[in-house]
Amino acid sequence: MTKHVVITGANRGIGLEFCRQYKAQGHQVTAVVRRSSAELDALNVDVIDNIDVSLEQDVARLAELMASKTIDILINNAGIFSNESLAEMDFSQLEAQLAVNAVAPVRVTHALQSHLSSGAKVAMITSRMGSIEDNGSGAYIGYRMSKAALNAAGVSLAHELKPRGVAVALLHPGFVQTQMVNFAGDISAQASAERLILRIEELNLTNSGSFWHSNGELLPW
């Protein structure tokens, strides 16, 4: 059955691969971006650009543009990454990561909640760096904080959306070779998206609110 898949941060990396692979499966794809890219334009999917998901007015405009559409899969993928430590602190970057990585996915889900079909799925692209138990090195303070906050929000949303038949997944993509990490990862964006799509297929109301590695491993909070 054809589904409508909406993906934020879709102009490159994992988001672009989500678009490519869902399109190849025959689904209707809407890419939400600040700026499109030649690679995204070549996919011939619906593109909504000039949307900064951290800005209230932009997300309100997104909701208006989606007014007549139903969403079956919402993937909150947009994110930013920087490294702060006590020795090298940048509070503006720390706050920006909280705004984009933690608050924005909640803002988008809130704005589009009425468009989610019964049985819809919401995927939050988080990180195992948001795991408090798994933190064995420190640093990356803003990124870790933002992903831990996103995990907390995702669990709350899973509880609140369950009565409507909507499931929520918190998904770690792996250490992916993307521009965000200067292509230093150990898995390609294509392989990561393939695995994440499988995890979204497996998502249901029974496992809603769980924190998964893209390889299927349950991750510690």
pLDDT value of residue 185: 62
Question: Which sequence spans correspond to the domains of the chain?
Answer: 4-213
Evaluate if residue 64 carries a pLDDT over 90.
Answer: yes
End-to-end CA separation in angstroms for the chain: 34
* Residue 2 near residue 28, CB atoms below 8 Å: yes
How much is the mean pLDDT over the chain? Answer: 95
Mean pLDDT of 69-96: 97
Closest to 22 in 3D by CA, of 35, 7, 37: 7
CATH class of 4-213: alpha beta
* Residue 70 near residue 4, CB atoms below 8 Å: yes
Evaluate if residue 212 carries a pLDDT over 80.
Answer: yes
pLDDT value of residue 187: 85
pLDDT value of residue 26: 98
pLDDT value of residue 176: 78
Which amino acid belongs to residue 62? L
Tokens of 207: 């496992």
DSSP calls for 11-75: SSHHHHHHHHHHHHTT-EEEEE-SS--HHHHTTT-EEE-S--TT-HHHHHHHHHHTTT--EEEEE
DSSP class of residue 187 equals B
Mean pLDDT of 115-136: 97
Closest to 34 in 3D by CA, of 58, 4, 1, 18: 58
Evaluate if residue 124 carries a pLDDT over 70.
Answer: yes
Instruction: Report the phi/psi class of residue 48: left, alpha or beta, with left for phi > 0 and alpha for psi in -120 to 50.
Output: beta
Rounded CA-CA distance 43/19 in Å is: 8
Reported confidence tier of residue 175, pLDDT bands at 50, 70, 90: confident
Mean pLDDT of 199-217: 97
**pTM (global) more than 0.85:** yes
Closest to 172 in 3D by CA, of 139, 210, 201, 117: 210
